[in-house]
Chain A
Amino acid sequence: MTAGQRQRAWLRAFPRKWRTRYGDELSALIEDLEHDNDLSAVDRLDLLRAGLRTRASVQVHRAGLATGAAMVALACALGGLAFAGVFSTSAPARSQRIVLIPPVIIKQPKPVQIRVVTATQAKKRALEARAVRADLAAIAAACSSQTSLVRSRSCPAHTWG
């Protein structure tokens, strides 16, 4: 291994980008020190340590950039949630479905329209349960003569399914 190759080998501890900028100068400095018989083992260890430290700082810098990107993504996500939250206040708090009960089943001249509430979130279950109870009461009032039929055939299936 020639002197130049040895110098290059020590420089391999540094990142490639750093070597591109400072490699020739540092190589010349090592050459000067070797020429003066002034390059000690401590200096070689110093080269290794500085190279690894530079690599570590580059990694930290990259990690910082990645963290920055993650923070931007998180901010966008939170902004989206806030945006959705603003618009959700104008939307109904529960999802609803209109179901027409055919007159054949309840034996009425017209079909009965009922609202069926489907639970989508655990937090809204109480609210929905209250709505379901209200719906059941409405159905019971609308089909007072067919209460038993509605409960046994239509309501349970559509309400809790």
Chain B
Amino acid sequence: MVAGREKERTAQDTLTGPPLLVLTSLAGGPKHGHALMKDIEAFAYLRLGPGTLYGALARLEERGLIAALPADDCRRPYEITAQGEAALETSVTDLGRVVTIGRSRLRSLRGERETVPRPALQGGMP
């Protein structure tokens, strides 16, 4: 039961999608909206729309994972908080486990396909 709760808690705490990308970008240093968009596009090959980006920023700030810094000409930079670092650590660990297992299973799947002979065709070509 305790292990189940732990798994459930971890699943809820694992960040995915835009929030994960934003936290990853902010782990490299404080940035404002435009800089965040450019950085995410550079390392994830994904372009977050302005609405999606600010939706993620608002949710992360509400959860205390990022904090707003003093604005510079309406362009307010954000920085990752200690809580955000912990959340990013958890998420990256969880996703890393999924990536490792996914790669391993893909390897075995491809190995099986290469070693197991295909069944002979019944009533095949003459």
A18-B58, A25-B32, A53-B55 known; A46+B50 contact, CB < 8 A:
yes
B57 touches A22 (CB 8 A): yes
Residue of B nearest to A18 (CB): B58
Interface window among B4-12, B68-76, B85-93, B97-105: B68-76
B49 touches A24 (CB 8 A): no
A-contact bits for B48-64, CB 8 A (1 contact / 0 none): 01111111011000000
A54 touches B55 (CB 8 A): yes
Interface window among A29-37, A69-77, A90-98, A113-121: A29-37
Find chain A residues with CB under 8 A from B37 CB: 29, 33
Interface residues on B, range: 10 to 19
Determine if B107 is an interface residue (Cβ-Cβ < 8 Å): no
A45 to B52, CA, bound (A): 10
A29 touches B54 (CB 8 A): yes
Residue of A nearest to B76 (CB): A25
B74 touches A24 (CB 8 A): yes
Taking the closest CB of chain A, its distance from the CB of B21, in whole angstroms, is 15
A59 to B100, CA, bound (A): 40
Determine if A47 is an interface residue (Cβ-Cβ < 8 Å): yes
Find chain A residues with CB under 8 A from B52 CB: 46, 50
Taking the closest CB of chain A, its distance from the CB of B76, in whole angstroms, is 5
B49 touches A47 (CB 8 A): yes
Find chain A residues with CB under 8 A from B51 CB: 13, 26, 43, 46-51
Given contacts A26-B33, A32-B33, 11 further A-B contacts (CB under 8 A): A13-B51, A18-B58, A24-B71, A25-B33, A28-B73, A29-B32, A29-B53, A33-B37, A50-B49, A50-B51, A50-B55
Shortest Cβ-Cβ A-B pairs, 3 listed: A50-B51, A46-B49, A29-B33
A-side interface residues toward B, CB under 8 Å? 13, 18, 21-22, 24-30, 32-33, 39, 42-43, 45-51, 53-54
B-side interface residues toward A, CB under 8 Å? 32-34, 37, 49-55, 57-58, 71, 73-76
